[in-house]
Amino acid sequence: MPEVDLTIEICGMSGDGTIAAGGLLNAALSKAGFFLMAFDSYPAEIRGFGRCVTRSRVGMEEMLALASETHVLISLDDEQSLSRVPFLAKNATVFFDNRPPSFVEEGRSIAAHVGPDVTLLGVPFRDLTARATGTTRGRNLTALGAFAGAFDLPPGPFHEIIRKKFDPKGEKVVLANIKSFDAGLQYAREKLDRSAKGIFPVPQKTGEETDRVLLSGNTAIARGALDAGLKLYFGYPITPATPIMEYLAKALPEKGGRLLQMEDEISSIGAVLGSFYAGGRAMTATSGPGLSLMTELITHGVMAEIPAVIIDAQRGGPATGLPTKTEQSDLHAAVFGGPGDSARIVIAPTNVSECYGYTVKSFQIAEKYQTPVIVLTDFFLDNRVENVGMPRAVPEEIFDGNVYPDPSLKDRYRRFERTESGISPRSIPGMEGFLFTTTGLEHSEIGVPDYAPQNHMLMSDKRHRKITGAMADLPAPREFSKGGSLKVGVIAWGSTFGSALEAVRKAEKKGIRAGALKITSIFPYHADIIREFMARCGEILIPELNYEGQLANLIGHLFRKEVQRLDRVTGEPFPASIILEKIESLAK
Amino acid sequence: MSGQHFLVIGNGPAGNEAALTLREKAPDAQVTIISRNLGGSYCPHLIPDYIAGKIPEECLFVVTPDAYTDKNIKFRHGQRVVDLDPMKKTVILDHKEVIPFDGVIIAVGGKPRIPEYLRVFEDSLLTLKTVEDARIWVSMLPETDSVLLIGGDLTSFAVSKALIHLGKKIYFMLTEHAFWPLRPDGALLDEVSQRLACRGVEVISGKRLKSLTRPSGKCVAARFDDGYELEVGMIGAFYGLTPDIDFLRRSGFRMDRGVLVDEFLHTGFEGVYATGDCAQIYHPDLRDYWVSIGHANAVILGRTAANNLLGGEDQTAVVAESIFEVEGINVNTSWWMEF
A452 inside domain? yes
User: Quick check: B269 and B286 in contact, CB under 8 A?
Assistant: no
Mean residue pLDDT across chain B: 86
DSSP string, A427-484: --TT-TT------SS-B-TTS-B---HHHHHHHHHHHHHHHHHGGGGSPPPEEESSSS
Q: What is the pLDDT of residue B113?
A: 83
Position A462, amino acid? K
- A109 neighbourhood in chain B, CB within 8 Å: 93, 95-97
pLDDT > 70? residue A561 = yes
Domain with CATH 3.50.50.60 in chain B: 5-110+242-332, 114-239
User: Quick check: A556 and A562 in contact, CB under 8 A?
Assistant: yes
- Enumerate long-range contacts of A451-460, CB under 8 Å, 24 or more apart: A458/A418, A459/A416, A459/A418, A460/A341
> How many pairs of residues across A and B have Cβ atoms under 8 Å apart?
69
Helical pair A171-191 and A139-150, crossing angle rounded to 10 deg: 40
CA–CA separation, A243 vs A311, rounded Å? 12
**Least confident residue range of A2-6, A228-232, A377-381, B167-171:** A2-6
pLDDT tier, B3 (very low <50, low <70, confident <90, very high otherwise): confident
Position A452, amino acid? A
Which of A12-16, A535-539, B45-49 ranks highest by mean pLDDT? Answer: A535-539
CATH number, residue A115: 3.40.920.10
- B70 neighbourhood in chain A, CB within 8 Å: none
ipTM: 0.74
pLDDT tier, B180 (very low <50, low <70, confident <90, very high otherwise): low
User: Quick check: A315 and A286 in contact, CB under 8 A?
Assistant: no
pLDDT > 90? residue B137 = yes
CATH number, residue A317: 3.40.50.970
**Residue A167, Cβ neighbours under 10 Å: how many?**
11
DSSP string, B3-61: T-EEEEE--SHHHHHHHHHHHHH-TTSEEEEEESSSSSEE-GGGHHHHHTTSS-GGGGE
Pair (A486, A462) in one structural domain = no
CATH number, residue A497: 3.40.50.920
Q: Minimal CA–CA distance to B16: which of B314, B301, B273, B290?
A: B301
**Residue B264, Cβ neighbours under 10 Å: how many?**
18
CA–CA separation, B177 vs B186, rounded Å? 12
Pair (A394, A423) in one structural domain = no
The residues that bridge with A443 in the sheet, in sequence order, are A449
CB contact under 8 A, A99 and B96: yes
pLDDT > 70? residue A66 = yes
A368 inside domain? yes
Nearest Cβ partner for A116 among B66, B99, B139: B66
Q: Minimal CA–CA distance to B180: which of B241, B121, B120?
A: B241
Pair (A180, A292) in one structural domain = no
CA–CA separation, A369 vs B31, rounded Å? 72
Pair (A146, A272) in one structural domain = no
A219 inside domain? yes
Check residue B180 and report its DSSP letter: B
The residues that bridge with B172 in the sheet, in sequence order, are B149, B203
Pair (A452, A482) in one structural domain = no
Mean residue pLDDT across chain A: 93
pLDDT tier, A207 (very low <50, low <70, confident <90, very high otherwise): very low
User: Quick check: B158 and B199 in contact, CB under 8 A?
Assistant: no
CB contact under 8 A, B97 and A111: yes
Averaged over A510-529, what is the pLDDT? 98
- Give, in words, the CATH class of B5-110+242-332: alpha beta
User: Quick check: A201 and A29 in contact, CB under 8 A?
Assistant: no
Nearest Cβ partner for A112 among B65, B97, B100: B97
Between vectors from CA A286 to CA A283 and to CA A291, what angle results, nearest 5°?
Answer: 105
CA–CA separation, A113 vs A102, rounded Å? 19
Q: Which residue of B has its CA nearest to A116?
A: B65
CA–CA separation, A36 vs A63, rounded Å? 6
CB-count exposure of residue A342 (10 Å: 0-12, 13-18, 19+): buried
Pair (A26, A143) in one structural domain = yes
A249 inside domain? yes
CA–CA separation, A26 vs B175, rounded Å? 57
Check residue B172 and report its DSSP letter: E
- A193 neighbourhood in chain B, CB within 8 Å: 38, 78, 132
A206 inside domain? no
What is the three-class DSSP state of A426?
coil
Q: Is the pTM of this model over 0.90?
A: no
CB contact under 8 A, A108 and B97: yes
What is the three-class DSSP state of A59?
strand
CA–CA separation, A297 vs A430, rounded Å? 23
CB contact under 8 A, A103 and B98: yes
Pair (A40, A86) in one structural domain = yes
Residue A29 φ then ψ, to 5°: -70, -35
More confident residue, A211 or A337: A337
- B77 neighbourhood in chain A, CB within 8 Å: 116, 120
**Least confident residue range of A191-205, B48-62, B102-116:** A191-205
pLDDT tier, A60 (very low <50, low <70, confident <90, very high otherwise): confident
Q: Name the minimum distance, in Å, from the CA of B241 to any CA of chain A.
A: 21
CB contact under 8 A, A197 and B93: no
**Residue A567, Cβ neighbours under 10 Å: how many?**
17
Q: Which residue of B has its CA nearest to A94?
A: B78
Q: A-contacting residues of B 68-97, CB under 8 Å? A: 68-69, 75-79, 92-97
Q: What is the pLDDT of residue A279?
A: 94
Pair (A48, A156) in one structural domain = yes
Pair (A151, A267) in one structural domain = no
CB contact under 8 A, A195 and B97: no
Q: Name the minimum distance, in Å, from the CA of A6 to any CA of chain B.
A: 22
pLDDT > 70? residue A263 = yes
Domain-terminating residue out of A442, A473, A504: A473
A127 inside domain? yes
CA–CA separation, A450 vs A303, rounded Å? 13
**Residue B289, Cβ neighbours under 10 Å: how many?**
18
CB contact under 8 A, B95 and A97: yes
Q: Minimal CA–CA distance to B303: which of B107, B159, B133, B116?
A: B107
B338 in contact with A, Cβ within 8 Å? no
pLDDT tier, B337 (very low <50, low <70, confident <90, very high otherwise): very low
- Tally the domains of chain A: 4
pLDDT > 90? residue A322 = yes
Averaged over A322-351, what is the pLDDT? 96
CB contact under 8 A, B95 and A96: yes
Percentage of chain A with pLDDT > 90?
84
Pair (A378, A292) in one structural domain = yes
- B58 neighbourhood in chain A, CB within 8 Å: none
Task: State the residue range of the domain holding A457.
Answer: 407-473
CB contact under 8 A, B135 and A121: no
pLDDT > 50? residue B338 = no
C-alpha B156, offset from chain centre: 13
Which of A105, A126, A193, A199 to probe by mutation at the B interface, max B CB count within 10 Å?
A193
Position A220, amino acid? A
Q: Minimal CA–CA distance to A104: which of B146, B126, B95?
A: B95
User: Quick check: B333 and B291 in contact, CB under 8 A?
Assistant: no
**Residue A106, Cβ neighbours under 10 Å: how many?**
16
Pair (A94, A124) in one structural domain = yes
Q: What is the pLDDT of residue A21?
A: 95
Q: What is the pLDDT of residue A493?
A: 98
Which of A94, A95, A117 to probe by mutation at the B interface, max B CB count within 10 Å?
A117
- A106 neighbourhood in chain B, CB within 8 Å: 97-100
pLDDT digits (tens, 9 = 90+) for A12-56: 998 889 999 999 999 998 888 889 999 988 776 665 678 899 999
pLDDT tier, A260 (very low <50, low <70, confident <90, very high otherwise): very high
User: Quick check: A503 and A576 in contact, CB under 8 A?
Assistant: yes
User: Quick check: B6 and B29 in contact, CB under 8 A?
Assistant: yes
pLDDT > 60? residue B328 = no
CA–CA separation, A277 vs A438, rounded Å? 9
CATH number of B114-239: 3.50.50.60
Q: Is A74 left (phi over 0), alpha (psi -120 to 50) or beta?
A: beta
Can you say whether the dihedral through the CA atoms of B62, B65, B70, B73 is positive or negative?
positive
pLDDT digits (tens, 9 = 90+) for B256-298: 888 999 999 999 999 999 999 899 888 887 777 877 767 778 8
**Least confident residue range of A139-153, A346-360, A398-412, A498-512:** A398-412
Can you say whether the dihedral through the CA atoms of A179, A183, A184, A190 is positive or negative?
positive
Nearest Cβ partner for A119 among B75, B78, B100: B78
- B69 neighbourhood in chain A, CB within 8 Å: 115-116
pLDDT > 70? residue A145 = yes
B140 in contact with A, Cβ within 8 Å? no
Nearest Cβ partner for A116 among B75, B98, B135: B75
Nearest Cβ partner for A193 among B38, B93, B100: B38
Check residue A524 and report its DSSP letter: S
Check residue B153 and report its DSSP letter: B
Residue B236 φ then ψ, to 5°: -105, 135
Residue B53 φ then ψ, to 5°: 80, 15
C-alpha B41, offset from chain centre: 13
Percentage of chain A with pLDDT > 70?
94
CB contact under 8 A, A112 and B76: yes
pLDDT > 50? residue A302 = yes
CB contact under 8 A, A112 and B92: no
Position B20, amino acid? L
Contacting residues for B319 by C-beta, under 8 A, at least 6 apart: B296, B297, B300, B334
A335 inside domain? yes
B126 in contact with A, Cβ within 8 Å? no
Pair (A286, A423) in one structural domain = no
CA distances from A550 to A340, A351, A568 (A): 20, 20, 12
